[in-house]
């Protein structure tokens, strides 16, 4: 067996952290982002507010899941999807697109939205507006997201802090 070098140890720690505590990118309108962070309390998340912040996060970190809101940064969800699919470390990240704010969306618009999400290799479209923001509704949202994430970990407590890669 070869002795571990500094960089291989660091890569091993980062890989281990990704296995234990997968990170989620959330790029959604504030109300949807708050709900998603609460639902995914067992996962670390990176919340971004602009397309530029989303690009920076996708370039800097490997995510287990990306959740993109339809109305994110003036409805630029597809810009982030395209960037993720053509970029490096997150080109295969599962992407779930969500609508978290009410708005007028005709059946034709909804069909076109779903077709575009599929064309850009999105995993699922989730209409949070149609799912109650209560215990049962949020359990449903968690089940739908968990299909793309794997097991959900309990939230860290002060006695068991969340694992983070060391610099």
Q: For the chain, what are the domain ranges?
A: 21-146
**Per-residue pLDDT of the chain in tens (167 residues, 90 and over written 9):** 445 555 544 454 444 444 455 799 999 999 999 999 999 988 899 999 999 999 999 999 999 999 999 988 888 899 999 999 987 889 899 999 999 888 788 889 889 989 999 888 889 999 999 999 999 999 999 999 999 985 544 444 555 444 333 33
User: CB within 8 A of 159, min separation 6: which ones?
Assistant: none
Tokens describing residue 21:
């505590």
Q: Write down the CATH superfamily of domain 21-146.
A: Response regulator (3.40.50.2300)
Angle, nearest 10°, between helix axes 77-86 and 51-60? 20
**What pLDDT score does 30 carry?**
93
- Whether 43 contacts 152, CB under 8 Å: yes
How much is the pTM?
A: 0.76
Q: Give the model's pLDDT for residue 45.
A: 93
What residue has token string 């575009």?
116
Q: What is the pLDDT of residue 162?
A: 41
Q: How far apart are CA 71 and CA 52, in angstroms?
A: 15
> Is residue 165 packed enough to be buried (19+ CB in 10 Å), middle (13-18) or exposed (0-12)?
middle
């Amino acid at each position: 067996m070869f002795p571990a070098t500094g960089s291989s140890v660091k890569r091993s720690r980062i890989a281990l952290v990704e296995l234990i505590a997968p990170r989620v990118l959330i790029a959604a309108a504030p109300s949807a982002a708050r709900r998603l962070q609460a639902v995914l309390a067992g996962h670390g998340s990176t919340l971004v507010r602009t397309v530029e912040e989303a690009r920076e996060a996708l370039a800097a970190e490997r995510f287990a899941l990306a959740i993109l809101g339809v109305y994110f940064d003036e409805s630029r969800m597809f810009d982030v999807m395209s960037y993720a699919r053509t970029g490096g470390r997150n080109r295969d990240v599962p992407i779930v697109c969500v609508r978290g704010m009410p708005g007028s969306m005709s059946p034709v618009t909804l069909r076109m939205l779903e077709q575009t999400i599929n064309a850009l290799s999105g995993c699922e479209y989730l209409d949070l507006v149609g799912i109650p923001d209560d215990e049962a509704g949020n359990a449903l949202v968690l089940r739908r997201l968990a299909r793309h994430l794997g097991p959900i970990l309990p939230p860290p407590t002060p006695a068991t802090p969340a694992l983070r890669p060391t610099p």
